[in-house]
Amino acid sequence: MTLAIRAAGADSRYWDAALETQSRPDWQRLKLDALQRHLRHAYHGSPHYRAGFDAAGVHPDQLETLDDLRRFPFIDKQTLRERQLAVPPFGDVCAVPERDIVYISASSGSTGVPTASPFTAADFDEWIDFEVRLFWSSGLRPEDRYCHSLNFSLFVGGPCVLGAQRLGALCIHAGTVPSERLLAIARQFQATAIWTTPSYAWYLGETAVKEGIDLRRDLAIRRIFVAGEPGGSIPETRERIENLWGASVYDYYGLSDIFGACAGMCEEKHGLHWAEDHILVEVLDAENGEPVAEGERGELVLTTLRKSARPMIRFRTGDIVSFTSEPCACGRTSQRLLGVHGRLDDMLIIKGVNLFPSDVEAIARKETACTGEYRLIVERENHLDRLTVEIERVPTFAGSDEDLAHHFARQLKSITGVSAAVRVLAADALPRATHKAKRVEDRRSGVWA
Ligand SMILES: [Zn+2]
């Protein structure tokens, strides 16, 4: 077990200043060196990768630059699932003997057979080590009391609490308990930080207010870590949660098939810093597979650099993101995820225009006459798609619903190029999410998504 010891007199802004502020060429060298070793490990340890590389006519020894990785084949969720069924229980994408595996997480299985993600002892230890670094960059300190309200049941978000614990914070392993209980725990122990989804952070805050709890006076929460939904990377969504709680919100990004969190927001909150010594990031045009320019939207493709139990080489995440390699004002030099705009599967095409629910969310959260809740309904009429956006007015809104609907529709059209009918509802008319929100009803196929 690694001990979380920082050098005496170290710069308090960073957990590991030498690593986190190194030059971009140093990052590239570090990644190239790790990638060469990791590809060889995958090739020699995993029958799946060996067969795939051979079929594509590529060999790890041919990798001379990071760009050479583009000659290697992709892997995706469906392949992981198939290989797991073909070679149970973990599949031949694994590159170590089963006796070396000490931990598995598994996806929820909401879109098919759950896939298991195995870790060796070293994989697990190194993962928790970089969670420490991410937490530190978000301002968590040993003086904090961190309340972890994520599920531990095979969920890769569960062990992230060990990062906060290794950092030295007092960790309250609350797990998933009813909202009233969670609020009581946070209140009793005066937790200063908590982790949840953006939807649940909003729901929990509203629940507290309804119960007569003063979020600023009765609770001590000053930092809210969020993950699992695109909302966390939308500034308007974060600001709403921050205003409700009087706390600072930090977005995190993770994947059940890789790590609980592999990128997190620093105090500047302009993008999420990747744990770039463990993850190699590509952002590609989803149609032609070519890299997109920095700041442009593309599909996120991830390659692990050290995770030996099951290396992930060019894993297509299906998430549409943008990124930057510009140095951050915080002094860290790692690449940043600028925004998760949605899943490729979530993208709606309305009369030929691409639209992500998160685009609508940004408008709904910014509009002060609205509660910020919304729902999209997509229908087909005479072979044409028709979008209806439902929003809620705040109870104090004194204007007309018609004017608000027109105003919202104009905003939507000018920002996204999509025309939609807008329906204004009373506050609390739309269902609230207690975990991940489902805000799209696609009625085009006759089945509600
Ligand atoms: Zn930063």
With beta carbons less than 8 A apart as the criterion, state whether 157 and 228 touch. Answer: yes
Q: Which residues surround ligand 1, an ion (CB under 5 A)?
A: 266, 268, 328, 330, 332
Last residue of a domain, one of 344, 361, 378: 344
- 330/367 same-domain check: no
Residue 4 within any structural domain of the chain? no
pLDDT at 445: 57
- pLDDT at residue 378, as a whole number: 87
Between the CA of 330 and the centroid of ligand 1 the distance, in Å, is 4
- What is the 388 CA–ligand 1 centroid distance (Å)? 38
Q: Distance, CA 254 to ligand 1 centroid (Å)?
A: 18
Rounded Cα distance, 310 and 42, in Å: 8
Q: Which positions ≥6 away from 436 have C-beta within 8 Å?
A: 197, 199, 228, 229
Residue 328 lies in a domain: yes
Residue 1 falls inside a structural domain: no
Domain residue limits at 96: 11-344
Residues 110 and 214 in one domain: yes
Indicate if 327 and 380 belong to the same structural domain: no
Q: How far is the CA of 328 from the centre of ligand 1 (A)?
A: 5
pLDDT at 230 over 80: no
Q: Is the pLDDT of residue 449 over 50?
A: no
Q: Binning pLDDT at 50, 70 and 90, where does residue 118 land?
A: very high
Q: Which residue reads 């060298």 in tokens?
A: 29
Quote the ligand 1 centre to 329 CA distance (angstroms). 6
What is the SS3 assignment for the chain? CCCCCCCCCCCCCCCCHHHHCCCHHHHHHHHHHHHHHHHHHHHHHCHHHHHHHHHHCCCHHHCCCHHHHHHCCCECHHHHHHHHHHCCCCCCCCCCCHHHEEEEEECCCCCCCCCEEEEEHHHHHHHHHHHHHHHHHCCCCCCCEEEECCCCCCCCCHHHHHHHHHHCCEEEECCCCCHHHHHHHHHHCCCCEEEECHHHHHHHHHHHHHCCCCCCCCCCCCEEEECCCHHHHCHHHHHHHHHHHCCEEEEEECCCCCCCCCEEECCCCCCEEECCCCEEEEEECCCCCCECCCCCCEEEEEEECCCCCCCCCCEEEEEEEEEECCCCCCCCCCCEEEEEEEEHHHCEEECCEEECHHHHHHHHHHCCCEEEEEEEEEEEECCEEEEEEEEEECCCCCCCHHHHHHHHHHHHHHHHCCCCEEEEECCCCCCCCCCCCCCEEECCCCCCC
Ligand 1 centre distance from Cα of residue 274 (Å): 10
Considering the domain boundaries, does residue 448 fall inside one?
Answer: no
Per-position b or e across 72-82, b if 16+ CB within 10 A of its CB: beebebebbbb
Q: Give yes or no: residues 285 and 358 share one domain.
A: no
Q: Distance from the CA of 413 to the center of ligand 1, in angstroms?
A: 33
State how far the Cα of 164 lies from the Cα of 154, in Å rounded to an integer: 19
CA of 283 to the centre of ligand 1 (A): 20
End-of-domain residue from the set 320, 344, 368: 344
To the nearest whole percent, how much of the chain has pLDDT over 90? 69
Q: Of 343, 429, 342, 371, which Cα lies nearest the Cα of 241?
A: 371
- Cα separation, 49 vs 312, in Å, equals 10
Calculate mean pLDDT across residues 364-374: 90
CA of 426 to the centre of ligand 1 (A): 39
Distance between CA atoms of residues 380 and 435, nearest Å: 29
Determine the distance separating the centroid of ligand 1 and the alpha carbon of 270, expressed in angstroms.
Answer: 7
Regarding whether 216 and 354 lie in a shared domain, the answer is: no
Query: Does residue 6 carry a pLDDT above 80?
Result: no
Q: Are residues 362 and 339 in the same domain?
A: no
Q: Is there a single domain that holds both residue 49 and residue 148?
A: yes
The amino acid at residue 109 is G
* Structural domains counted in the chain: 2
Q: How far is the CA of 279 from the centre of ligand 1 (A)?
A: 17
Give the distance (Å) from ligand 1 centre to CA of residue 122. 27
Q: Is the pLDDT of residue 289 over 80?
A: yes
CATH of the domain at 400: 3.30.300.30
What is the torsional sign of CA 251, 256, 257, 258?
Answer: positive
Token pair listed for 7: 């050098």
Q: Among 323, 344, 365, which residue terminates a domain?
A: 344
Q: Domain check: are 175 and 322 in the same one?
A: yes
Are 292 and 284 contacting, i.e. CB atoms less than 8 angstroms apart? yes
Q: What does the pLDDT average to over 216-236?
A: 90
Report the distance separating Cα 128 and Cα 130, nearest Å: 5
- Ligand 1 centroid vs 199 CA: distance in angstroms? 24
Rounded Cα distance, 257 and 321, in Å: 18
Residue 449 counted as domain residue:
no
CA 338 to ligand 1 center in whole angstroms: 11
Measured in Å, residue 268 CA sits from the centre of ligand 1 at: 6
pLDDT class of 448 with cuts at 50, 70, 90? very low
For ligand 1, the distance from its centroid to the CA atom of residue 70, given in whole angstroms, is: 28
306 and 329 fall within a common domain: yes
**Whether residue 146 has pLDDT greater than 70:** yes
* Cα of 251 from ligand 1 centre, angstroms: 12
pLDDT above 80 (res 4): no
Cβ proximity of 153 and 136 under 8 Å: no
Q: Are residues 58 and 167 in the same domain?
A: yes
Centre of ligand 1 from the C-alpha of residue 9, in Å: 21
Split at pLDDT 50, 70, 90, the class of 258 is very high
Phi and psi at residue 209, in whole multiples of 5°? -60, -40
Give per-residue burial for 410-425: e unless 16+ CB within 10 Å, then b: ebbeeebebebebbbb
Residue 6 lies in a domain: no
Which residue from 7, 25, 8, 24 is spatially nearest to 16, judged by alpha carbons?
A: 7
- CB count, 10 Å around CB of 179? 16
> What pTM was estimated for this model as a whole?
0.83
As a whole number, mean pLDDT of residues 391-401 equals: 92
pLDDT, residue 109, reads 59
267 CA distance to ligand 1 middle (Å): 7
Q: Tell me, in angstroms, the distance from the centre of ligand 1 to residue 77's CA.
A: 31
pLDDT recorded at residue 446: 42
Is residue 38 in a domain?
Answer: yes
Q: What is the CATH number of the domain that holds 140?
A: 3.40.50.12780
| Same-domain pairing of 84 and 58 | yes
Indicate the pLDDT class of residue 110, thresholds 50, 70 and 90. low
- 2 has pLDDT over 60: no
From the list 282, 277, 313, the residue with the least C-alpha distance to 38 is 313
Confidence at residue 72, expressed as pLDDT on a 0 to 100 scale: 97
pLDDT at 244 over 90: yes
CA distances from 312 to 112, 181, 401 (A): 20, 38, 50
What's the rounded Cα separation, in Å, for the pair 339 and 201?
19
* Average pLDDT score, the chain: 91
Task: State in Å: Cα 323 to ligand 1 middle.
Answer: 13
Query: What Rg value do the Cα atoms of the chain yield, rounded?
Result: 22
Look at 247 and 3; give whichever has higher pLDDT. Answer: 247
Residues 362 and 294 in one domain: no
The answer as to whether 160 is a domain residue is yes
